[in-house]
Amino acid sequence: MTTKITFLPDGKSAEVAGGTSVVDASIQAGVHLIAPCNGKGTCGKCGVQFQEGAPAPCAADARFYGGSEIDDGWRLACMHRVDERAVVFAAPSTLGKVDFGPSMEGIVLRPNVRKVWVPIGALRGESFTWPEVGRHARGALDEPPTLGLLAQLPALRYAPDMELTVVVCGGRAVAIEEGDTRLENYGLALDIGTTTVAASLLDLNTGEEIARGSGLNRQSVHGSDVMSRLTSLGEDRNLLAVLQRLAVETVGELLERMLAQSGVRRDRIYEVTVCGNSCMHHVFLGLDPASLAFAPYDALVLGPVEARAGDLGLDLPADTAVYALPNVASFIGGDALAAALAVGLHRSDAVRCLVDIGTNGEILVGSRERIVACSTPAGPAFEGASISSGMIASQGAIHRVEIGDDITVDTIGGEKPKGITGSGLIDLCAELRRVGLIDARGKYVSPARLTLQPALAARMLEAEKQFLVARSYGKNIYLTQRDVRELQLAKGVIFAGIEALRIAMGIEREEIAELYLAGTFGSYLSIRSARRIGLVPSLPEGRIRAVGNAAMVGAQMCLLSLDARAEAEALARRIEHVELPTRSDFQDLFMEAMQFPDEEPETF
Amino acid sequence: MTTKITFLPDGKSAEVAGGTSVVDASIQAGVHLIAPCNGKGTCGKCGVQFQEGAPAPCAADARFYGGSEIDDGWRLACMHRVDERAVVFAAPSTLGKVDFGPSMEGIVLRPNVRKVWVPIGALRGESFTWPEVGRHARGALDEPPTLGLLAQLPALRYAPDMELTVVVCGGRAVAIEEGDTRLENYGLALDIGTTTVAASLLDLNTGEEIARGSGLNRQSVHGSDVMSRLTSLGEDRNLLAVLQRLAVETVGELLERMLAQSGVRRDRIYEVTVCGNSCMHHVFLGLDPASLAFAPYDALVLGPVEARAGDLGLDLPADTAVYALPNVASFIGGDALAAALAVGLHRSDAVRCLVDIGTNGEILVGSRERIVACSTPAGPAFEGASISSGMIASQGAIHRVEIGDDITVDTIGGEKPKGITGSGLIDLCAELRRVGLIDARGKYVSPARLTLQPALAARMLEAEKQFLVARSYGKNIYLTQRDVRELQLAKGVIFAGIEALRIAMGIEREEIAELYLAGTFGSYLSIRSARRIGLVPSLPEGRIRAVGNAAMVGAQMCLLSLDARAEAEALARRIEHVELPTRSDFQDLFMEAMQFPDEEPETF
């Protein structure tokens, strides 16, 4: 005889043989409850709430739960077997590890937000008071509820099948909702880049990404890089509020789109985590970044900052918690920290290298022993902003290029090309170099001096010093000699930064066990092209990995797990900042790194 | 040879013989440092900061302080002797117990607010950042600073002899101030009564009361008692905001006066503690008290509530912390709890009784074993509100009455009488009863039936059924037959409440070791008169004590000590609420208690 057991919140179920343990049934259903004491009933970590088919309580249950909790269906999963049809709510903390993006080790879901259900029939009376509701909201009573929650109570009116859900954030009951809204528990992770803002809407019960979006930071109208925005700010102090609002509006637009796409209610988002470079971090929080612009170039704050959505003007309920990841140093922001957290640099036995390419390129080299980091002013070339036909990675952007008899381009979404994005630019230059149209110093070579197919040769317009990449709506897409120069500067400074850190660590190139290339160009990046243009050292291909927007993954981890948050804070204090301009050898490294490698690089 | 040592923050100093220990010198100066390990240098509790004349550090200092703290002058007081002129800052936590009002045991100063000094010369550079300032603000880095603090930083500009002070509230750095402002550290304790609002401005460094004030709750225009205000509220929901604002305005006016009187800056007040009956508590916090007005008469919240001044519209910096003491039960408010905390009912070996007389009379009987409590609707007679010539205890109020050949009255401030207050009313009725002008049932007796001096006899205006107490500006002050009835109702319900609790505890009258009479009439109350009118049982005179506004003392304790706050929260959960109307014997007790005792009561 088989019996059906369903696990909430994700609704996964299994038909199991009668007598199967609840923990085994959870594995069959693909839910994976945690049972650290291995079924002895001693650790209390596998607590679940039976909503149907609760078995008779046993002695072990009584050790962990009071009478009213027993009545509410709380049991230790490891102590019971499935004998009749059952529906079980497994709280996030009882669920196992989530396999999560590029993170080297999974994280255990332990969000700052919990939802506590007050079941049908628990409540009596016409109106509701906190002593009554809170009594049923197990674990929600550690700290006083907010005034906001208390003000919500009088509006509730009793109905026969009434259920309530209490939202607990940071140990404090912050809101009360009608119905069983436990399944609606969302958070927002943000990566505020100088050029690109990325946002991700996560289900805090499952760790799943519900929607994602990215867009151009509206601050770009005030200068494409951090320094030019700081300069504008120096001239007009009122600009801080303007820049802050522009960043918030950028997020607001992404959020709007994600909510529409996912059907998630705005007021079911309870926490926001945010990372960014120090300047974007300051501006997003409404803090003056002026101290970053002048010697000694200090950040106003390095540690984590906690705020509320209302303080920032974010279009979410005013009390929504906002957690800004710490910055490591003035020019090693929370985004680089988040990326390091995501790839688990600090857990690695071997020395690994992380290159996070945004408008600044942050580079970290290290292992669990020691991590050094630097920031390089790569500029926005890889986000398209300083390239004549450049654009950020969105619909219609050329993100992949191959040259055979002629050029072939792929665009995001398969649309007609609108411009060229970071990964496309890297491919394009790599291919032009391969066929000889660019020389080792980055200069365009006349097709007359090469043996090329006529179609390809015709694309090089020598008079205008530009190469026709694609024909598009009205405006064709070219790569100019100046664009090539921009790429050389950007890739050169990054390569030189990697070399400087390698030297600071006192290791040889081949001792880098792995190199992670992170950035908003995400999975589009061709490692082969990146090596060919000399963006990264010529490690064997398998030891270079494109990990996408790793900073966003770190921000997501901090949203899903307080442990990850604590880990990030500890990591921020450990990373050693190496200031490049003070290293006499950096200029030499940089001059060298601007060149294109002569040919397909040899690997050792 | 003698040497001078000065202790900050209170500036007390002593001339001591060279070689005197710092702890002994503190006793001579009247400062009383705590040294729990008795001079062994092992507990680290006596840490002080030398601002001048720091002795060379010893090994014990190095166990408790890091190098930068040693450089900043931190030393263990018990390990050093005074050899040269010295100035020492003794942090509140290193100071001894404060002897505090009616509290049976002193409290140790441990306020939620600390100020951390960043000394002259510690800071470099033109502008200031949190990593730099926070590094010098020892202990201020446990939690992230507030956005408010971070926003203050960029406005600071370096000056050669610059000092800063960081304000830490609840473990979080909340503000930064120019100069050494450690001596300016204030808090506000509030007792929001239905009729009277009392406020006290305390120095959080010393526990000293800097100013005090009380005034009529402006809500009184919407009904003199809680029930009538709840009824008004039931008819017009918008009234909640109006009532809330009126309470806040009452506080604002008192605060204004106290600031003017003391010269304290408004922005040097960092925390507010507030107690009140449940209804006033709810309204002050902007919470709907409707659930208190209808069966089952539940409070919206019983536990402590934490808010910010800005949430309430209090005229203090928006982030100023507000801590509302918990309520015990719907009609046993935080004021009764605070009074119980102040008199230390829960620490008493013997059974004691506390009667807190406001517009409601809260009564508590108990000891460390068990405490029972009830609330009696005494009405505002003792605050003057239902008495024809009644007034609250303020300038010109008659607070003491004696009858000899004629009547003699004392007024608060010695001014010409304006009205009569609670203690005056009790005296007056006691004296009228003594000379026979009031009989045992509270009826006026014709002077013709008594042997009285003509001057006294002439005061009884039989036709109008009133007694002329005093002549005043234009309007004379009378006690009417109706006023006597109001007093009888008020004192009867209180006496009956005491009896009901005594019976609930199963003890005899003489087993009450002590009875505390608390209320806003404060020290003016004549115990003799209170016994004579039968407000309280006829215990021997020494076992009845008037303890003034004990609720205010409890609110002050919670402001000065987090330990007291924790004690109050634990106490709130322990007190058992006895509901009077459900006790069949209460009506009998009440009818009996309305009578005036026949004569000067015998004591057993």
Report residue B312's pLDDT band, with 50, 70 and 90 as the boundaries. Answer: very high
> Does residue A600 sit within a domain?
no
Angle, vertex CA B251, rays to CA B247 and CA B253, nearest 5: 115
Residues A250 and A310 in one domain: yes
Picking from A154, A294, A304, the nearest residue to B300 by CB comes out as: A154
User: Residues of B with CB below 8 A from A306's CB?
Assistant: 143-144
Torsion of the alpha carbons at A428, A432, A435 and A438, rounded to the nearest 10: -160
Residues A366 and A508 in one domain: yes
Count how many domains chain A has: 5
**Rounded distance between C-alpha atoms, residue A503 and residue A21, angstroms:** 56
**Rounded distance between C-alpha atoms, residue A203 and residue A109, angstroms:** 11
Calculate the CA B412 to chain-centre distance: 20
Structure-token match 């032009």, residue found:
A432
3-class secondary structure, B307: strand
Q: Contact A123/A132 with Cβ under 8 angstroms?
A: yes
User: Residues of A with CB below 8 A from B145's CB?
Assistant: 301, 305
Residues B299 and B246 in one domain: yes
Residues A451 and A466 in one domain: yes
User: Residues of B with CB below 8 A from A150's CB?
Assistant: 285, 287, 300-301, 305
User: Residues of A with CB below 8 A from B142's CB?
Assistant: none
User: Residues of A with CB below 8 A from B241's CB?
Assistant: none
Return the sign of the alpha-carbon dihedral for residues B188, B252, B254, B519. Answer: negative
Residues within 8 A of B (CB atoms), A 296-315 only: 296, 298-307, 311
3-class secondary structure, A5: strand
**Rounded distance between C-alpha atoms, residue A438 and residue A484, angstroms:** 9
Tell me whether residues B127 and A290 touch, CB distance under 8 A: yes
> Does the pLDDT value for residue B98 go beyond 70?
no
Quick count: other Cβ atoms within 10 Å of Cβ B475?
Answer: 10
- Whether the complex's predicted ipTM surpasses the cut of 0.85: no
Tell me whether residues B301 and A130 touch, CB distance under 8 A: yes
CA of B301 vs chain A CAs: smallest distance (Å) = 5
Residues A481 and A505 in one domain: no
Give me the residues paired with residue B98 across strands.
B107
Residues comprising chain B, all counted: 604
**Rounded distance between C-alpha atoms, residue B404 and residue B131, angstroms:** 74
Name the residue of chain A whose CA is nearest to B296's CA. A125
Quick one: pLDDT at residue B472?
80
Tell me the CATH number at B238. 3.30.420.480
Whether chain A has a CB inside 8 Å of the CB on B285: the answer is yes
Enter the DSSP assignment of A476. -
CA of B564 vs chain A CAs: smallest distance (Å) = 17
**Rounded distance between C-alpha atoms, residue A476 and residue A422, angstroms:** 18
Phi, psi at B164, each rounded to 5°: -130, 155
> What average pLDDT does the segment B362-382 reach?
91
CA of A303 vs chain B CAs: smallest distance (Å) = 7
Residues B197 and B312 in one domain: yes
Whether chain B has a CB inside 8 Å of the CB on A327: the answer is no
Quick one: pLDDT at residue A35?
62
Give me the residues paired with residue A438 across strands.
A444
User: How much is the pTM?
Assistant: 0.79
Q: Contact A469/A407 with Cβ under 8 angstroms?
A: yes
- pLDDT > 70: percent of chain B: 89
Quick one: pLDDT at residue A37?
63
Residues within 8 A of B (CB atoms), A 255-284 only: none
Quick one: pLDDT at residue A603?
45
Picking from B129, B287, B300, the nearest residue to A300 by CB comes out as: B129
| A114's tokens | 């919990």
B585-600, pLDDT tens digit by residue? 788 888 889 999 876 5
Whether chain B has a CB inside 8 Å of the CB on A238: the answer is no
Name the residue of chain B whose CA is nearest to A124's CA. B296
**Rounded distance between C-alpha atoms, residue A508 and residue A129, angstroms:** 67
Quick count: other Cβ atoms within 10 Å of Cβ A279?
Answer: 28
Tell me whether residues B301 and A127 touch, CB distance under 8 A: no
Q: Which is nearest to B570 in space by CA: B349, B342, B341, B412?
A: B341
Residues B268 and B409 in one domain: no
> Does residue A370 sit within a domain?
yes
**Rounded distance between C-alpha atoms, residue A228 and residue A223, angstroms:** 5
> Does residue A57 sit within a domain?
yes
Residues comprising chain A, all counted: 604
Residues A392 and A308 in one domain: no
Picking from B127, B132, B303, the nearest residue to A144 by CB comes out as: B303
User: Amino acid letter at B259?
Assistant: L
Domain boundary among A134, A159, A178: A178
A558-604, pLDDT tens digit by residue? 999 999 999 999 999 999 998 876 567 788 888 889 999 876 544 44
Structure-token match 């039989």, residue found:
B462
> Does residue B279 sit within a domain?
yes
Q: Contact A254/A266 with Cβ under 8 angstroms?
A: no
| B191's tokens | 């007792």
**Rounded distance between C-alpha atoms, residue A217 and residue A243, angstroms:** 10
Q: Contact B341/B378 with Cβ under 8 angstroms?
A: no
b/e B50-66 (16+ beta carbons within 10 angstroms → b): bbebbbebeebbeebbe
> Does residue B102 sit within a domain?
no
Q: Contact B353/B364 with Cβ under 8 angstroms?
A: yes
**Rounded distance between C-alpha atoms, residue A399 and residue A599, angstroms:** 23
Tell me whether residues B303 and A141 touch, CB distance under 8 A: yes
Q: Which is nearest to A193 in space by CA: A290, A67, A311, A279?
A: A279
Residues A42 and A19 in one domain: yes
User: Amino acid letter at B432?
Assistant: L
Tell me the CATH number at B62. 3.10.20.30
Residues B346 and B315 in one domain: no
Domain boundary among A444, A461, A486: A486
Residues A472 and A501 in one domain: no
CA of B548 vs chain A CAs: smallest distance (Å) = 30
> What average pLDDT does the segment B170-188 reach?
92
User: Residues of B with CB below 8 A from A130's CB?
Assistant: 300-303
> What average pLDDT does the segment B215-237 reach?
73
Tell me whether residues B144 and A296 touch, CB distance under 8 A: no
User: Residues of B with CB below 8 A from A145's CB?
Assistant: 301, 305
Structure-token match 């002013």, residue found:
A377
B161 vs B511, higher pLDDT: B511
Whether chain B has a CB inside 8 Å of the CB on A141: the answer is yes
Q: Which is nearest to B499 in space by CA: B337, B353, B351?
A: B353
B185-218, pLDDT tens digit by residue? 999 999 999 888 999 999 998 888 899 998 888 8
Picking from B134, B300, B307, the nearest residue to A129 by CB comes out as: B300
Q: Dump the DSSP string for B382-407.
A: GGTTTSTTB--SSTTEEEEEEESSSE
Q: Which is nearest to B147 in space by CA: B176, B170, B123, B121?
A: B176
A417 vs B105, higher pLDDT: A417
> Does residue A247 sit within a domain?
yes
3-class secondary structure, A559: helix
| A249's tokens | 């509006």
**Rounded distance between C-alpha atoms, residue B198 and residue A369, angstroms:** 61
Tell me whether residues B132 and A303 touch, CB distance under 8 A: no
Domain boundary among A456, A486, A516: A486
Picking from B134, B154, B296, the nearest residue to A288 by CB comes out as: B154
Picking from B131, B290, B302, the nearest residue to A298 by CB comes out as: B131
CA of B150 vs chain A CAs: smallest distance (Å) = 7
CA of B142 vs chain A CAs: smallest distance (Å) = 11
> Does residue B310 sit within a domain?
yes
Domain that holds residue A341: 334-379+493-593
Whether chain A has a CB inside 8 Å of the CB on B238: the answer is no
Q: Contact A59/A76 with Cβ under 8 angstroms?
A: no
Q: Contact A575/A337 with Cβ under 8 angstroms?
A: yes
> Does residue A277 sit within a domain?
yes
Q: Contact A551/A342 with Cβ under 8 angstroms?
A: yes
> Does the pLDDT value for residue B101 go beyond 50?
no
Quick one: pLDDT at residue B38?
60
Residues A153 and A81 in one domain: no
3-class secondary structure, A311: helix
Quick one: pLDDT at residue B104?
40
Q: Give pLDDT < 50 ranges for chain A.
A: 93-104, 601-604
